[in-house]
């Protein structure tokens, strides 16, 4: 367990697909969050990525802002401190970040990446980690498909041209203990699923179904996977997109930076998020109106301040 959040070893799927899928469905129906082990991602990749992140965010602001772009939704390059806020939050989050995304030749909605020249290992570190997390996300989507009584390859052709976004997050030291902002205010993720290569520092909290905030302590080697709003809509709420936040540390811990790297898997823009008929029952009537992934993403990016 990661505190109360279930832990699942994805390597079990290879020798017991049915048993693993049943355990997977139970975990995500209850929590919408689980720790994933047995994923095979090299710890050295993760160490290299965090080292490159730390080096970039240590640059002066005027150098970091050279890598801001006009990509839709700020989906590539640097996004300055105080830009993003949670939906319905009065205050911006206490964070800055950098986006690296999927590149597919000839697909117009996928913008080219930009790479900071000052950090020589930045591109190689994040291209490598992006590929590993993209592969893991595809494997997990196959299990999600089975848990929703869909063909195992259901999502394969529905995410192949969708945005997959690596967000390299820096929460700077908090010098004023009285700020009303949180490092990341309570929110739900927009996308199908999120993979989190997280800081081992405390701060991440998940809201349980009982309405209690549960602190999540990252166990080394574990990647957290959580359901996003798009998968919640598709499953008619069977798989919940659980509210989570990153709270401010207290005392001397507030003087330290915090880094984390979430990977957001989005569907192809034209994919419909209409509730699956097998998820609509008398006990769970239809909850969400039809919408495309593109329209829903636009709506949410405006709400959080990354689009106008």
Question: Can you give 170-237 as a three-state secondary structure string?
Answer: EECCCCCCCCCCCCEEEECCCCCEEEEECCCCCCEEEECCCCCEEECCCCCCCEEEEECHHHHHHCCC
Mean pLDDT over each residue of the chain, to the nearest integer: 94
Residue 2 lies in a domain: no
The predicted structure's pLDDT at residue 269: 96
Which positions of the chain have pLDDT values less than 70?
1-3
Instruction: Look at residue 308 and tell me if it is in a domain.
Output: no
Q: pLDDT per residue over 78-124, tens digit each? A: 999 999 999 989 999 999 999 999 998 888 889 999 999 999 999 99
pLDDT at 60: 98
- Helix (H) or strand (E) run with residue 254 in it: none
Give residue 213's domain range: 7-303
CATH number at residue 157: 2.60.120.330
Q: Look at the chain and report how many structural domains it folds into.
A: 1
Query: Residues, the chain, total?
Result: 308
What is the pLDDT at residue 178? 86
Tell me the sheet residues that pair with 70.
none
Per-residue pLDDT of 242-264, as tens digits, reads 999 999 998 999 999 999 999 99
Contact in structure between 85 and 91 (CB atoms under 8 Å): yes
Q: What is the pLDDT of residue 219?
A: 79
What are the pLDDT digits (tens) for 166-175? 999 999 999 8
> Among 117, 112, 102, which residue's Cα sits nearest to residue 55?
117
pLDDT value at residue 2: 46
Residue 181 lies in a domain: yes
Rounded Cα–Cα distance for residues 214 and 212 (Å): 6
- Would residue 1 count as lying in a domain? no
């Amino acid at each position: 367990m990661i505190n109360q959040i279930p832990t699942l070893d994805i390597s079990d799927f290879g020798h017991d697909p049915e048993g693993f899928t049943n355990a997977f469905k139970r975990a995500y129906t209850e929590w919408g969050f689980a720790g994933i082990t047995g994923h095979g991602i090299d710890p050295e990749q993760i160490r290299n990525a965090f080292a490159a992140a730390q080096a970039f965010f240590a640059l002066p602001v005027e150098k970091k802002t050279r890598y801001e772009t006009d990509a839709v939704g700020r989906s590539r390059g640097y996004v300055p401190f105080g830009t993003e806020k949670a939906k319905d939050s009065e205050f911006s989050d206490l964070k800055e970040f950098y986006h690296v995304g999927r590149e597919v030749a000839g697909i117009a909605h996928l913008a080219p990446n930009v790479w900071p020249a000052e950090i020589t290992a930045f591109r190689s570190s994040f291209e490598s980690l992006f590929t590993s997390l993209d592969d893991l996300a595809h494997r997990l989507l196959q299990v999600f498909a089975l848990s929703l009584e869909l063909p195992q390859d259901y999502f394969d052709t529905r995410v192949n041209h969708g945005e997959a976004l690596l967000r390299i997050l820096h929460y700077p030291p908090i010098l004023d203990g009285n700020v009303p902002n949180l490092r990341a205010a309570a929110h739900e993720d927009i996308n199908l699923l999120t993979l989190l290569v997280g800081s081992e520092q405390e701060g991440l909290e998940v809201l349980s179904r009982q309405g209690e905030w549960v602190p999540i302590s990252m166990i080394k080697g574990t990647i957290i996977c959580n359901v996003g709003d798009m998968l919640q809509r598709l499953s008619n709420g069977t798989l919940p997109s659980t509210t989570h936040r990153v709270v401010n540390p207290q005392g001397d811990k507030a003087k330290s930076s915090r880094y984390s790297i979430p990977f957001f898997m989005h569907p192809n823009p034209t994919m419909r998020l209409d509730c699956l008929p097998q998820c609509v029952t008398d006990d769970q009537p239809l909850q969400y109106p039809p919408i495309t992934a593109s329209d829903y993403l636009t709506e949410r990016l405006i709400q959080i301040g990354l689009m106008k």
